[in-house]
């Protein structure tokens, strides 16, 4: 059997492909455009593994997707591909509309045509799983209850608006055409292979280079952190047993203020790789201008996923962040390649793809 994963060279998609192939003999066809965020260096361990078929391409390329579906006959398509960084969406929303909205539309259309022509048994077993975010629900005040699946969509950034649009398309393709879809809305992920434009890897790398650790605004914005492998296990569980047309919130009940997260990373680095001058990395914390339209608080109510599908995260924030800091310290080659941009050259040498 085969599954098709989109965006499998990114942070979460890459972790998912690695986890999947560690637990299953099914082939993974990995369709990824290799934008700045796509990094095949993260999948180096799969080199020579015939179960991993990498294809550089765009989810918006309907012909390419149709050809891949016809050739590989996957039993499921999992859509991780997206433009994912809120700050980039503020500076240039165009790519977000292109990939997250139009790309998802084209992908859905290619998948619908493939699914409609499948024999009855394969048609009934087929799944389209769309990976989405808690940001579609907007922002919470300190006293609001965490987001549940019945919360209204109130996206505030170009990124979250584009993801909300993609979620609506997925929902409509189920309602109108009967496409067997599942959607997951997850909170903030962290862990290995995280591109260092996002808060946690940025702070980890800047700290070691003696650079400022930028905190937007007052640093009291709250995010609900989930170790990436726990997100992957939730997606596997939803794919296996989720009810068609349903959405599932994914989170580990780990709300933390940004400043607390950064101080925790500093304390772990102080312990595991103390600064030569004996000072704490926390002295590098620098308050900078706030993100425009910055959402104050996200928090996920994951009770539906826990109760219906029996999913539980394996990591607490404390265990996951310790593992993450240790991973970045132990994987300096990956870090060096990603910060120097050398991973683009590596892609070129291995796959002949344009860096
Ligand atoms: P990422 O930016 O690290 O990776 C995205 C991947 O998609 C990259 O490999 C990129 O090359 C690829 N891609 C981009 N445009 C493409 C296109 N048009 N066609 C094919 N491939 C394309 O993102 P991530 O953090 O791994 O997020 C993956 C998914 O999970 C996204 O849909 C995101 O919205 C969602 N999500 C992320 C988080 C988080 O905390 N990172 C939390 C919840 C949901
Ligand atoms: O909630 C899920 C979302 O989490 C995903 O859908 C997005 O794809 C993912 O990027 C993430 O979005 P955030 O905007 O929450 O993540 P980011 O790491 O960019 O920022 C986390 C918090 O830290 C946020 O409140 C902004 C703040 N921040 C971020 C950066 C990069 C800083 O204070 N300083 C920084 O330099």
Tell me the three state secondary structure of residue 97: helix
Q: Is 299 among the domain residues?
A: yes
Calculate how far, in angstroms, residue 38's C-alpha sits from the geometric centre of ligand 1: 8
Q: Is 139 among the domain residues?
A: yes
Q: Is 212 among the domain residues?
A: no
pLDDT of residue 288: 97
Ligand nearest to the CA of 96: 1
Calculate how far, in angstroms, residue 243's C-alpha sits from the geometric centre of ligand 2: 30
Calculate how far, in angstroms, residue 99's C-alpha sits from the geometric centre of ligand 1: 10
Calculate how far, in angstroms, residue 235's C-alpha sits from the geometric centre of ligand 2: 21
Tokens 């962040």, residue? Answer: 321
Helix ranges restricted to H, 155-302 = 158-177, 199-208, 228-241, 258-272
Ligand 1 pocket check for 11: Cβ under 6 Å: yes
252, 190 Cβ separation under 8 angstroms: no
Q: Is 203 among the domain residues?
A: no
Residues (pLDDT < 50) of the chain are 355
For 106-157, write each residue's pLDDT tens digit. Answer: 999 999 999 999 999 999 999 999 999 999 999 999 999 999 999 999 999 9
Overall pTM surpassing 0.85 (yes/no): yes
Ligand nearest to the CA of 184: 1
Which atom of ligand 1 lies nearest, measured to the CA of 59? 19
pLDDT of residue 15: 98
The structure tokens listed for 242 are 């989720």
Measure the CA–CA gap between 76 and 247, rounded to whole angstroms. Answer: 17
pLDDT of residue 355: 46
Q: Is 184 among the domain residues?
A: yes
Q: How far is CA 231 from CA 9, 133, 163, in A?
A: 16, 11, 17
pLDDT of residue 207: 97
Q: How far is CA 11 from CA 8, 161, 198, 267, 309, in A?
A: 8, 21, 11, 25, 25
Q: Is 334 among the domain residues?
A: no
Full residue range of the structural domain in which residue 239 is found: 2-190+226-252+294-315
Which atom of ligand 1 lies nearest, measured to the CA of 34? 11
Among candidate residues 321, 191, 186, the one with its CA nearest the CA of residue 256: 321
Strands 52-56 and 27-32: parallel
pLDDT of residue 187: 98
Ligand nearest to the CA of 230: 1
For 13-60, write each residue's pLDDT tens digit. Answer: 999 999 999 999 999 999 999 999 999 999 999 999 999 999 999 999
pLDDT of residue 352: 61
Tokens 């539906």, residue? Answer: 304
Known catalytic residues are 134-135, 159
Mutate to test the pocket of ligand 1, among 5, 6, 12, 137 (most ligand atoms within 8 A of CB): 12
Q: Is 245 among the domain residues?
A: yes
Atom 6 (ligand 2) nearest CA: 133
Give the chain's domain count.
1
CATH number (domain holding residue 8): 3.40.50.720
137, 147 Cβ separation under 8 angstroms: yes
Taking phi first (over 0 means left), then psi (-120 to 50 degrees means alpha), and beta for anything else, what does residue 214 get?
beta
pLDDT of residue 340: 87
Q: Is 143 among the domain residues?
A: yes
Calculate how far, in angstroms, residue 198's C-alpha sits from the geometric centre of ligand 2: 6
Measure the CA–CA gap between 292 and 187, rounded to whole angstroms. Answer: 20
**Which residues have any ligand 2 atom within 6 Å of their CB?**
84-86, 133-135, 187-188, 198-199, 202, 214-216, 221, 223, 258, 291, 298
Calculate how far, in angstroms, residue 141's C-alpha sits from the geometric centre of ligand 2: 17
Atom 15 (ligand 1) nearest CA: 82
Ligand nearest to the CA of 89: 2
CA dihedral 164, 167, 172, 175 (to 10 degrees): -130
Q: Which residues pair with 56 in a beta bridge?
A: 32
pLDDT of residue 344: 76
């Amino acid at each position: 059997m085969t599954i098709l994963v989109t965006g499998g060279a990114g942070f979460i998609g890459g972790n998912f492909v690695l986890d999947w192939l560690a637990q299953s003999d099914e082939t993974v066809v990995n369709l990824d455009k290799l934008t700045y965020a796509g990094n095949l260096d993260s999948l180096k361990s799969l080199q020579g593994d015939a179960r991993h078929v990498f294809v550089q391409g765009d989810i918006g390329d309907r012909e390419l997707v149709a050809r891949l579906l016809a050739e590989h006959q996957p039993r499921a398509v999992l859509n991780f591909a997206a433009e994912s960084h809120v700050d980039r969406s503020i500076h240039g929303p165009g790519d977000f509309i292109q990939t997250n909205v139009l790309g998802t539309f084209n992908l859905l259309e290619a998948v619908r045509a493939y699914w409609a022509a499948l024999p009855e048994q394969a048609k009934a077993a087929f799944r389209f799983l769309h990976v989405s975010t808690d940001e579609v629900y907007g922002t919470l005040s300190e006293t609001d209850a965490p987001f549940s699946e019945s919360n209204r969509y109130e996206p505030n950034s170009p990124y979250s608006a584009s993801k909300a649009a993609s979620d609506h398309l997925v929902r409509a393709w189920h309602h109108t055409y009967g496409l067997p879809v599942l959607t997951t809305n997850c909170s903030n992920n962290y862990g290995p292979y995280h591109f260092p434009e996002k808060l946690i890897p940025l702070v980890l790398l800047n700290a070691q280079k003696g650079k400022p650790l930028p905190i937007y605004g007052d640093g009291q914005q709250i995010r609900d952190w989930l170790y990436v492998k726990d997100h992957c296990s939730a997606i596997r569980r939803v794919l296996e047993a989720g009810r068609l047309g349903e959405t599932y919130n994914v989170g580990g009940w780990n709300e933390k203020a940004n400043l607390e997260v950064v101080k925790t990373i500093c304390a772990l680095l102080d312990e595991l790789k103390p600064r030569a001058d004996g000072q704490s990395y926390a002295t590098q914390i620098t308050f900078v201008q706030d993100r425009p339209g910055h959402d104050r608080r996200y928090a996920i109510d994951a009770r539906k996923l826990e109760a219906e599908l029996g999913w539980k995260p394996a990591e607490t924030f404390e265990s996951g962040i310790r593992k993450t800091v240790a991973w970045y310290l132990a994987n300096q080659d990956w870090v060096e390649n990603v910060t120097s941009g050398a991973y683009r050259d590596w892609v070129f040498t291995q796959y002949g793809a344009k860096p």
